[in-house]
Amino acid sequence: MSTNVLYAREPSLPVADFRRVLVESGLGAIRAVDDAARLQSILDGSNFIVTARRDRPGGELIGVARGMNDGAWACYVADLAVAKVAQGLGVGKGLLDEARRQLGPRVSLILVSVPDAVGFYERAGMTPLPHCFWYKRTA
């Protein structure tokens, strides 16, 4: 599968594609996939979107990494999702690798894992941060 996957920056990812991959990955259960305006705002506010598509530009979207990158210090990845049909084939790791390649050595990639994905990030060699804090959204 990995040899047939095309990774690319897609700053104008269509919201329908984004929604579909969230749903097809399972992440849609904990994302605002039924609020089209909010989902569009999420994309509009994300300046770092890396996609995985089958075979060619414009091919079937099978994965996405979405974040906010200041370009010089930190990129916060808020979504990483691979469609279930393509999970376990290296696409998630491929998205992380491509994101790191695009960010370069000066920018940290930071994210909050869902409990089920902790092993994936450990396997990918990411360092867990024991001192993370957040104010959780309330709406």
Ligand X SMILES: CC(C)(COP(=O)(O)OP(=O)(O)OC[C@H]1O[C@@H](n2cnc3c(N)ncnc32)[C@H](O)[C@@H]1OP(=O)(O)O)[C@@H](O)C(=O)NCCC(=O)NCCS
Does 82 engage in binding with ligand X (CB under 6 A)? yes
62 near ligand X (CB under 6 A): no
Asked if 21 and 14 count as a contact pair (C-beta separation under 8 A), the reply is no
- Interacting positions 18-47 with ligand X (CB under 6 A): 25-27
Q: Which is nearer to ligand X, 106 or 108 (CB)?
A: 108
Strand partners, 50: 9, 65
By beta-carbon proximity to ligand X, the closer residue of 26 and 59 is 26
- Binding marks (x or -) toward ligand X, 102..131, rule CB under 6 A? -----------xx-xx-xx--x--------
Give backbone dihedrals phi and psi of 53, rounded to 5 degrees, phi first: -125, 150
- As measured in angstroms, the least distance from the Cβ of 88 to ligand X is 5
Q: Which stretch binds ligand X (CB under 6 A): 6-14, 31-39, 85-93, 131-139?
A: 85-93
The residues, any chain, with a CB within 8 Å of residue 18's CB and separated by 6 or more, are 39, 43, 64, 66
59 or 90, CB closer to ligand X? 90
Q: How far is the CB of 31 from ligand X (least distance, A)?
A: 9
Residue 41's nearest CA partner among 21, 20, 68 is 68
In degrees rounded to 5, what are phi and psi of residue 37? -65, -40
Strand boundaries in 61-134, DSSP class E: 61-69, 74-82, 108-111
The residues binding ligand X (CB under 6 A) are 25-27, 80-82, 87-93, 113-114, 116-117, 119-120, 123
